[in-house]
């Protein structure tokens, strides 16, 4: 440590008039980071924000930043016409705005679904494979399935089956409840030729369900994941008198090295190796059932990075397919599984799990060409090509919108607090005065050393009881100002968000998956703050501090002042897996949900369905608690007015609720919002004060029914 520059008793002119960084000694403020006069901030624009967040990279062809600085949606992709774009900020204003202003009053966070985007994804996938078939001269067709595990939401599954009906598009199930919903949906809406692929480990109940599906006219294929499952299939088919159609999942040698490739290769979780495949063929032949073997399935892994790896894996599987045909199996379909990746970070590269180095069209051509090439060489008729592309179908169709409600502020010293520094113990006061003297001299290295020593000594003295809390806070703020004055980068501020990472972004917490997260409005303004996101949960893992592009912070705007509109961010490309994987950490349930379709109304969209997220009573009930009984117990200890408040608490969502007038976004249209709703999903908590739970079960039923109310029933353009 340098020798003391100033004696502790020597008075020093105080450097703080208003006691903030602007009043720090001039030599320090002209230090390494401020040696030259900084030019005025350059003008900002929506286009610069789009480039900053790489929206055109990961968002094309669906998301862009419009001239108002809002994120907007092209519901029909590149085919969207001018005037059909949907402003996401206006959707949030409609959904979360107060009912008296024409909004739906839905509590945040909010999941916005765009079924038009889902339709476009289904049509684009099938168009890509149709082009691949025609351009390569392939002798069969493409017939895909949607793996419902990606998102089992009723309306998502029904939409995919409906939109895919002209393409014979089917479903894939991996469990008994998934099989039941797939059966029901295909019977009601599906093409008779659509495949129902039954994957996953199976018992007699699962296999019996699949065989029942065949009796209902569904094109069901039971895919063997283990050799032992063949015995279950044969026994059940004989008992029910149904001849099965069987497939096999092969363990390929081909695998990729990323996180999502761990389920592939010879040591993968599912599938049969070469010896087991031959054993199944032998058994089927002995039973006179070899004609039942009609499908070969494999899975290289999700987010396949390159078409070279894809072609290698598909070529290996096609060799197995041709060998099975040579052995006499009634082969008809090759199922290439999942793996069609999406570009989460917009880099179009194969270096990480966050991107892929090919387009949808290139993927389809690689698959079809590889199968055709092997079959031609072996003289085997071209099979139907099936894929289970779930992530690529549903990721783009929904946006999770949540609010940042507060943020940490940089340290500041007011006039009264600054003079506390003169009251420090001798050694700490000497460090403080030496910092000031070094700053005046422009000796930044010495200044930093004394500041570090001051902070360390003051912490030790606080632990010993020598220093008061006010003095400790003054030292911390002073040292932060010193660091800023010396040109040290300001650490990212923590933005507190009204969300549970564990419930709504489980892949981000569990496997480090990154999703694009950006503000959905104010993008015509320069985002001048670097921030990280901290959720509501009582868990240190409930944060987001890794962002696309290798960033460890996210460019954000200063939060609006009190009693103005909220600050909303959107998480994009999260339509796959996040809803099904989310749990109830801290008993935070799912978000409110709206379905928004493109329409010819003045704002180009109509809300066709709306529902508030699970209430406190709902999440308690999910963990085996009995909200009705809990209310009765608590009611005995309080008066009627408090009991009514308790009833409202059980019916409210677990997330924070702010003044709706303060939270509504000033989109310029808010005051003119109209709705044909006769009730608000958020209104479940708005009961009259004297409306207690007269009948425990009746009251709970009313709360639950109103909380889950779908609004509006008839779409109305807005």
* Residues with active-site annotation: 538
Residue 517 dihedral angles phi and psi, to the nearest 5° = -130, 125
Residue 319 dihedral angles phi and psi, to the nearest 5° = -60, -45
Residues 6 or more apart whose CB falls under 8 angstroms from that of 363 comprise 128, 307, 310, 340
Burial (CB count within 10 angstroms: exposed 0-12, middle 13-18, buried 19+), residue 463: exposed
Give, in order, the Cα–Cα distances in Å from 574 to each of 65, 404, 577.
19, 19, 8
Residues 6 or more apart whose CB falls under 8 angstroms from that of 598 comprise 75, 76, 80, 84, 86, 116, 604, 605
Distance CA 574, CA 516 (A): 9
Long-range contacts of range 665-668, CB-CB < 8 Å, 24 or more positions apart?
Answer: 665/89, 665/92, 665/93, 665/97, 665/521, 665/565, 665/566, 665/568, 666/564, 666/565, 667/70, 667/87, 667/89, 667/90, 667/93, 667/521
User: Between helices 115-136 and 154-164, what is the axis angle to 10°?
Assistant: 40
User: Between helices 204-215 and 176-189, what is the axis angle to 10°?
Assistant: 10
Q: Going along 252-394, which residue ranges are E strands?
A: 293-297, 333-335, 384-386
Give, in order, the Cα–Cα distances in Å from 596 to each of 498, 578, 671.
22, 20, 20
Distance CA 570, CA 550 (A): 19
């Amino acid at each position: 440590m340098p020798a003391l520059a100033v004696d502790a008793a020597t008075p020093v002119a105080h450097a703080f008039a208003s006691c903030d960084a602007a009043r720090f000694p001039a030599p320090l403020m002209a230090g390494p980071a401020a040696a030259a006069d900084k030019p005025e901030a350059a003008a900002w624009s929506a286009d610069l924000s789009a480039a900053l967040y790489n929206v055109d990279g990961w968002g094309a062809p669906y998301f862009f930043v419009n001239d108002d600085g809002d994120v907007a949606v092209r519901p029909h992709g590149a085919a969207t016409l001018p005037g059909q774009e949907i402003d996401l900020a206006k959707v949030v204003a409609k959904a979360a705005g107060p009912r008296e202003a024409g909004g739906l009053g839905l509590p945040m966070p909010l999941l916005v679904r765009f079924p038009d985007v889902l339709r476009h994804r289904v049509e684009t996938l099938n168009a890509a494979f149709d082009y691949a078939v025609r351009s390569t001269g392939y002798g069969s067709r493409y017939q895909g399935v949607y793996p419902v595990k990606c998102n089992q939401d009723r309306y998502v599954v029904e939409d995919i089956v409906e939109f895919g009906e002209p393409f014979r598009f089917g479903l894939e199930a991996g469990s008994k409840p998934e099989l039941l919903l797939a059966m029901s949906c295909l019977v009601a809406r599906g093409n008779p030729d659509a495949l129902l692929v039954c994957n996953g480990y199976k018992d007699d109940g699962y296999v019996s369900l699949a065989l029942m599906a065949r009796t209902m006219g569904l094109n069901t294929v039971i895919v063997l994941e283990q050799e032992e499952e063949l015995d279950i299939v044969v026994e059940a088919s004989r008992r029910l008198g149904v001849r099965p159609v069987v497939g096999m999942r092969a363990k390929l040698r081909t695998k990729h090295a990323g996180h999502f490739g761990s389920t592939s290769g010879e040591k993968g979780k599912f599938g049969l190796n070469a010896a087991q495949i031959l054993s199944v063929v032998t058994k089927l032949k002995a039973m006179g059932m070899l004609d039942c073997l009609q499908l070969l399935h494999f899975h290289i892994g999700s987010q396949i990075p390159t078409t070279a790896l894809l072609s290698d894996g598909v070529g290996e599987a096609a060799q197995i397919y041709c060998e099975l045909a040579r052995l006499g199996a009634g082969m008809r379909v090759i199922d290439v599984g999942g793996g069609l990746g999406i570009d989460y970070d917009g880099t179009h590269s194969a270096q990480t799990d966050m991107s892929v180095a090919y387009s949808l069209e290139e993927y389809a051509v690689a698959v079809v060409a590889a199968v055709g090439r092997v079959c031609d060489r072996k003289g085997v008729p071209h099979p139907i090509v099936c894929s289970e592309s779930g992530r690529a179908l549903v990721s783009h169709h929904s946006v999770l919108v949540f609010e940042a409600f507060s943020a940490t502020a940089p340290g500041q010293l007011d006039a009264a607090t600054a003079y506390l520094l003169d009251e420090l113990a001798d050694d700490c006061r000497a460090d403080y005065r030496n910092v000031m003297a070094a700053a005046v001299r422009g000796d930044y290295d010495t200044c930093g050393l004394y500041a570090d020593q001051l902070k360390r000594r003051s912490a030790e003295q606080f632990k010993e009881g020598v220093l008061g809390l006010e003095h400790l806070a003054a030292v911390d703020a002073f040292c932060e100002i010193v660091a800023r004055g010396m040109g040290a980068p300001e650490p990212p501020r923590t933005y507190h968000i009204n969300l549970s990472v564990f419930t709504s972004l489980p892949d981000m917490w569990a496997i480090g998956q990154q999703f694009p997260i950006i503000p959905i409005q104010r993008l015509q303004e320069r985002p001048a703050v670097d921030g990280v996101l901290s959720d509501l949960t009582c868990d240190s893992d409930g944060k987001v501090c890794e962002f696309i592009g290798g960033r460890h912070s996210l460019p954000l705007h200063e939060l609006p002042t009190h009693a103005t509109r909220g600050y909303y961010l959107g998480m994009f490309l999260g339509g796959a897996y996040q809803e099904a994987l989310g749990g109830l950490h801290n008993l935070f349930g799912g978000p409110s949900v709206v379905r928004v379709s493109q329409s010819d109304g003045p704002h180009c969209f109509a809300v066709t369905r709306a529902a508030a997220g699970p209430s406190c009573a709902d999440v308690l009930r999910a963990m085996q608690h009995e909200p009705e009984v809990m209310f009765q117990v608590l009611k005995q200890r309080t008066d009627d007015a408090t009991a009514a408040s308790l009833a409202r608490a059980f019916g409210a969502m677990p997330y924070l609720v702010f003044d709706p007038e303060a939270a509504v976004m000033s989109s310029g249209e808010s005051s003119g919002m109209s709705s044909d709703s006769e009730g608000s999903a958020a209104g479940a908590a708005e009961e009259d004060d004297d409306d207690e739970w007269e009948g425990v079960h009746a009251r709970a039923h009313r709360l639950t029914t109103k909380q889950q109310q779908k609004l509006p029933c008839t779409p109305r353009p807005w």
